[in-house]
Structure 1
Amino acid sequence: MNDVAHFAVCREPFYQPQGKEIELYEAAYAARLPVMLKGPTGCGKSRFVEYMAWKLGRPLISVACNEDMTAADLVGRYLLDANGTRWQDGPLTVAARLGAICYLDEIVEARQDTLVVIHPLTDHRRMLPLDKKGEQVAAHPDFQLVISYNPGYQSLVKDLKQSTKQRFSAFQFDYPEASLEARIVCAETSIAQATAEQLVTFAQAGRRLKGHGLDEGISTRLIVYAASLIARGVSPADACRMAMVRPITDDADVIDSLDHAITAIFG
């Protein structure tokens, strides 16, 4: 269904600003600049895009990128049906036609040859070539492209080329400072402030192990998962183990260290 209403963000998503990112994004959108969001897993990048789409009153089309994604998955392809072949637009093409915000999440997961298709949309041309169809799609005046990725997973194999990076304005996201993160957890789950603060304290202890047994820190998302379990009667210690420790590591020594931290904080 390729209509604006189908992709509308109808309810206000909860988003707690960390700085001037809302005003800065509004300026970027007013100038129709493509935007790149950088930051660790689960720190609020996707929620921010959803919130800004709601605030700006623009439809949002999100794509979770993966290593098997082809250019055709983004722009479209011919399909066979009972009447022969028909063209079906991909999500990027739909967004360009409708004037939606197109959000490509974890863009570095996609193959480099796939990413080339976004280049004409991110400069003065604002065009999307559909080579297989022989069509040049001029982007709607309200169209904007937003991408995100986690620099913590950068490598020589998985990183954006400078030719892609320098087509975007950029925001650097990180986990919120402790009091703000506790406020977010309370707003998302309605647990007690004191419990939220303890969960954040534990998460910060876990984040200090990044690079020392952990590839990635404990995300705000995982704190919210633990708080959701606590709100349903699970003990804080069990909630931390289930939602904040076991998902991020299989290393017995790291698990043991984090379990000791849980005992120290929650008793």
Structure 2
Amino acid sequence: MTSSPTLVGEPTGESFRELTTLADVGHQHVPTIKQETYHERTGDSDRTDVEIVTRALELGMNVVLKGNPGVGKSFLIRYLCAQTNRPLYRMTLSQTTYREDLVGHLHLVSGENGETVTEWVDGPLTRAAREGGILLLDEINAADANTVAALNSVMESRGTRTLTLPQTGEQITPHEEFRVAATANPGFQGTYELNDAFEDRFRHIELEYLPVDVEVDLILEQSQLDSGRREEITRLVEFAERLREAYREGELSTPITTRELIRIAQFMADDFMPLRDAVRSELVARVDEYDESLVRTLIDTQL
């Protein structure tokens, strides 16, 4: 039998942006993050991505964050869960993800008298639904339709949503704080088009890369480089922007992320490597073999 779930805390009356903060009950799946700040961005309105996502979650909506790899989609959800004491259950989807991976399965165990019995084990979807957590599904458009179909009934409006476990017959009414968040890399190789009915269950939010000056600040902060290196890091970010444009235009098959730029800056610290060598050392080994020649050329001619 599944052990009793640890429910989320009660609403505190306080909020983080638009999302109610829950009482801290010591739930082990509430994320702990080292980076205490998230650099908010505005898109097509004067509201930031954090304001829009927290508003959607507060209204009971599920959200899907779309954008290129490395723009901070998954981190944004982790950050909000950490700020509001919400347990997070995370799963990266692929072509080999099955319904049972999400919902759970029966397995054989030895009973008290030595006989073999079956025991139900909750999957991340079921745990989040029982407890009131957030289920984060990375690369949701990498899973096939049969897998994501397991989410249809549990993502209905709060008054009608249910989750049925076919192996046991149990029918679960999801906790009122339960939400589904997903990330998607549009046009990424090996992904599927989600059908309109399923996409309609989400509030869609597009995330872009940080503005150059903000990304420079973040890299300096995370790499602990001296502020006197700002001009070099600005050159690095502007170079990354050119590579990202090549990726958007289909000339480059490997996206360039902020995480990679931070690693480059860390190898520049203490004069371990000059800028160009640090970029070459990180990116040439990182990119697809078909991109290597182009990246080497761009480093030599534009950096």
Q: TM-score, normalised by structure 2?
A: 0.80
AA aligned opposite 1:149: A
Structure having the larger proportion of residues in helix? 1
- Show CA shifts across 1:143-179 (max 9, x none): 1100111013177x61211121111001101112211
Q: Taking structure 1 as reference, are residues 212 and 143 closer, same or farther at Cα in structure 2, changes over 3 Å only? A: closer
| Structure 2 partner of 1:6 | 28
Gaps of 5+ in 1: none
- Show CA shifts across 1:44-96 (max 9, x none): 10111111111222111111112111100000000111121100000110011
AA aligned opposite 1:203: A
Output the CA distance in 1 between the equivalents of 2:34 and 2:256: 26
Secondary structure at 1:208 match in 2: helix
Does the 8 A contact of 1:75 with 1:91 survive in 2?
yes
Does the 8 A contact of 1:185 with 1:223 survive in 2?
yes
Deviation at 1:248, TM superposition (A): 2.1
- Show CA shifts across 1:75-133 (max 9, x none): 00001111211000001100111111110000111121010011112112222111111
Give runs of ≥4 in structure 1 deviating > 6 Å.
none
Does the 8 A contact of 1:75 with 1:89 survive in 2?
yes
Work out whether 1:248 is the aligned partner of 2:270: no
Deviation at 1:212, TM superposition (A): 4.5
Does the 8 A contact of 1:77 with 1:132 survive in 2?
yes
Does the 8 A contact of 1:38 with 1:149 survive in 2?
yes
Work out whether 1:229 is the aligned partner of 2:267: yes
- Match for residue 196 of structure 1 among 233, 245, 262: 233
Equivalent residue pairs, number: 263
Gaps of 5+ in 2: 9-26, 43-47, 112-116
Secondary structure at 2:286 match in 1: coil
Does the 8 A contact of 2:69 with 2:185 survive in 1?
yes
Work out whether 1:122 is the aligned partner of 2:155: yes
Secondary structure at 1:209 match in 2: helix
Deviation at 1:216, TM superposition (A): 4.1
Work out whether 1:18 is the aligned partner of 2:41: yes
| Structure 1 partner of 2:141 | 108
Does the 8 A contact of 2:70 with 2:259 survive in 1?
yes
- Show CA shifts across 1:170-198 (max 9, x none): 11011122112212212222223223212
Does the 8 A contact of 1:12 with 1:54 survive in 2?
no
Q: CA RMSD in A?
A: 2.1
The farther-off stretch of 87-96 and 211-220 is 211-220
Does the 8 A contact of 1:43 with 1:221 survive in 2?
no
Q: TM-score, normalised by structure 1?
A: 0.90
| Structure 1 partner of 2:169 | 134
